[in-house]
Structure formats: C-alpha cells, structure tokens
Amino acid sequence: MNLPSSPSTGPWSARPATALASGGPLPAPLPAAAFLGPHHLVHRPDTPEGFLLAATPPGRHRFGFSAQLPEAHPLFSDSTAPFHDLLYPMESLRQMGVFAAGRYFRVPENRRILLADCTMAVTALAPWERGGAGAAQLTLDLDMTPADVVKGVPRTMDCRASIAIDGKRCGTVGARLVFLMPGVYRTHRAHSRRESERAAQGPSGLPAGHGVPGPELVGRRSPRNVLIGLPLAEDGDSLVFPVDIPAAREVLPDSGSEVPTALFLEVSRQAALFGVGELYGLAPGHAVLTDWAATFRGFAEPGLPLRCAVRPHTSHAPGEVFRDAAGRPVAELGLTFTQGSRVVAAVRTSVLQIC
C-alpha cells in the first residue's frame, strides 16, 4: 500500500494549471485535484436511483473524466520526448477515485485512503504525440467498483479506465484503493516505521555531496524536476539510485506531511530511463514508458532514505531487448523501492526507444 489522501479533496476546486516559469523559484505544487488544472467529472449511474439520489447501492459506477492536457506546466510539460506525460492520466484516476470514495461510496472522511497497486499501458502511441494545433483533450471512461462492503461502506475499491486523446483510444490505467480506519492506519504506519528505522540511516534526500544526473538522462529538461541522484552502486546488470524525497515534495501533488503518491511513478520512470541508457545503450531522451505496473507494501517514511534499484526483468538476459510490431527496441525492467532492508514498492515497466 502507498500513502494516504483525504476523500474530501475533489475536482470541484480546480484552478488553472501553473504556467511554466523561465527561471526563478519553482512554483509550489498545487494540492490534489487543483494540480490537474480545469477538468470535468460526470457520474453515469446505471439505475434510476442513481439519477435521483446521485448515489447507488454498492456496485460498479461509471464516470466520465475530461480535461485539456497541459501545455505549460512545470512538470507535465517538461519531457524531452515529444509525448504527453503519462503521469497526468494516472494522477487523474487516483484523484477521481479519492473524490468518488466520499461523494458516491459513503467512505467517511476519517478513513485513510491508500493506493495498493497501480497499472498503466499505452495501446497506441501516435495519439500521445505532442505538437498538434491547439490543446489536446484527454478523456477517461472510468469504472469504479467497491468491494468488501461492510454496512454500506467499502473497504477497497477497484478503479479502471480507458484513455483517449482527441477521441482516439490509446491506453488503459487502473488502481486499487484501500480504506483504513484511523486506528488500523496508525498501527500499520508505526510497524512500517519501526521496520525501516532498523536499517535505514541518513538523510531523506541525497547523501551529502552526491551528484545528480543531467535532466536529459532521466527524460526531463529542467534540473528542478530531477528526483534521483547518480547510482550509488552497480554490478554490471543493476543500478541503485538514491531518491531525493525533499525535491519530490516540492514538485509533486499531495505532498503534505507524506511522501507524495506520484513519487513512485515519476522516480521509477526517471530511474528506468537512466537505466536503459546504462544497461542497454538506448537514448533516455528519446524513450517512453509503455507499460507500468506497481504494487505497494507498507508505507514510505518521508524522513528516511529511500532507494530505487533497477535491473533487467527476469524474463530477459541482461542487455537483451526485444522489438515491437514496428521494429523499435523495447527493454523490460524490474524496479524495487526500499527503505533499509524493507521493500516499499515493486515495479515492472517497459521502455520503448522511439528513434
């Protein structure tokens, strides 16, 4: 499981996305749905009760989400590859799930909402390309299905969506949310903290004097968005990166007092792009993640060092790539996030070389 969000945070307070500044201090990240900029969420109930009461008994609910993909955002518009940012639809799904939990599924505000797992897949690459006339329109057709319902309140919820850009289907995204009572959350959190503190030593940022990779090596243009340091160790077929948690909390949504949920996608992407350059000889600035799947185990503590290890996936020999239908090289990687000896998250991803 990952980090908590409040179900009271919804899309109705959305504000325009922050413009990308040219120099000067990095704008503070907007909290929750405001981070996404202007957008719309429409409930599509399947029963007459849903239309009359704006809620239905526990069961699958359908929603439609739409927004313009950002063109001038300090994070979403900072990719070296000519594609819209994959983080945007994933963060949209998570935030819509958090909002719907309280609005449509009766989850009390005191429940802690945790991300247990998350997936993303690009099914068609062309719609993701930037550069068309005007802003591109993102739509998500969402299905949200509660489970383990006790007295009308779900303990978990499965969120799945198909992604379309300018009306063209181009991907899927999914997540499973878990709703914990405050006492259960505190117990799990305390256990995770004790386990991490046994072996994790040092700052939550980079080690003193440790260097950072050039932004183009992790698929970014601005150094302010680089969230990993140079590898701490390598053994020929794996790399271990320190994660800069303070830097992540400056640029990612829902920071608060926690490690931002979006950190795991953004850091795994940066580590994977750097990794394909070192392990496969691919060009990080001209590569894109096409599949991403993560499971979360316990909690990441913001005050302790976090590490991300990257290695070729076990289904392939070190340095081996395969080809997609267009003949382009694809590398499969496994990533593991740890605090001390404790595994916080495990990720599998595919990275496509686009030129």
pLDDT tens, 27-55? Answer: 333 444 456 667 888 888 765 554 444 44
Predicted pLDDT of residue 117 = 94
d(CA 68, CA 37): 8
* pLDDT at residue 324 tops 60: yes
Strand partners, 5: 113
Cβ–Cβ < 8 Å for 215, 222 = yes
* pLDDT at residue 328 tops 60: yes
Most confident of 16-30, 40-54, 89-103, 213-227: 213-227
Predicted pLDDT of residue 24 = 35
More confidently predicted of 253 and 299: 299
Q: What is the pLDDT of residues 152-195, one digit of tens each?
A: 899 999 999 999 999 999 999 999 999 999 999 899 888 888 88
More confidently predicted of 25 and 107: 107
d(CA 70, CA 259): 24
Q: Which CATH number fits domain 1-180: 3.10.129.10, 1.20.1090.10, 3.40.50.360, 3.40.50.300?
A: 3.10.129.10
Predicted pLDDT of residue 205 = 86
Predicted pLDDT of residue 249 = 85
Q: What is the pLDDT of residues 72-92, one digit of tens each?
A: 788 888 889 889 988 889 989
Predicted pLDDT of residue 103 = 87
d(CA 89, CA 221): 21
Q: What is the pLDDT of residues 235-272, one digit of tens each?
A: 667 899 999 999 998 888 765 567 888 899 999 999 99
Closest CA to 264 of 296, 223, 289, 291: 296
Cβ–Cβ < 8 Å for 259, 200 = no
Pairing of strands 61-68, 306-312: unpaired
Predicted pLDDT of residue 251 = 86
Weakest-pLDDT range from 23-37, 98-112, 266-280:
23-37
Cβ–Cβ < 8 Å for 7, 101 = yes
Cβ–Cβ < 8 Å for 173, 95 = no
Closest CA to 88 of 156, 15, 137, 133: 137
* pLDDT at residue 69 tops 80: yes
Cβ–Cβ < 8 Å for 22, 46 = no
Predicted pLDDT of residue 3 = 39
Reported CATH class of domain 195-355: alpha beta
Predicted pLDDT of residue 199 = 78
| Section 317-332 average pLDDT | 84
pLDDT, mean over the chain? 82
Predicted pLDDT of residue 121 = 96
d(CA 78, CA 166): 21
Count CB neighbours of 42 within 10 A.
10
Q: Give the start-to-end residue ranges of the domains of the chain.
A: 1-180, 195-355
Grade residue 13 by pLDDT with cuts at 50, 70 and 90: very low
Q: Does the fold of domain 195-355 match that of domain 1-180?
A: yes
Contacts of 154 (CB under 8 A, 6+ apart): 58, 101, 105, 107, 146, 147, 148, 179
E strand residue ranges, the chain = 39-43, 61-68, 112-122, 137-147, 156-165, 168-180, 233-234, 239-243, 287-296, 306-312, 322-323, 329-339, 342-353
- From residue 167, alpha-carbon distances to 42, 127, 138, 173 in Å are 17, 9, 8, 16
Predicted pLDDT of residue 16 = 28
Pairing of strands 112-122, 137-147: unpaired
Residue-by-residue DSSP string for 237-248: S-EEEEE-HHHH
**What is the residue whose two structure tokens read 């830097």?**
247
Vertex 101 angle, CA 97 and 102, to 5°: 130
Whole-structure pTM value: 0.84
DSSP tag of 218: G
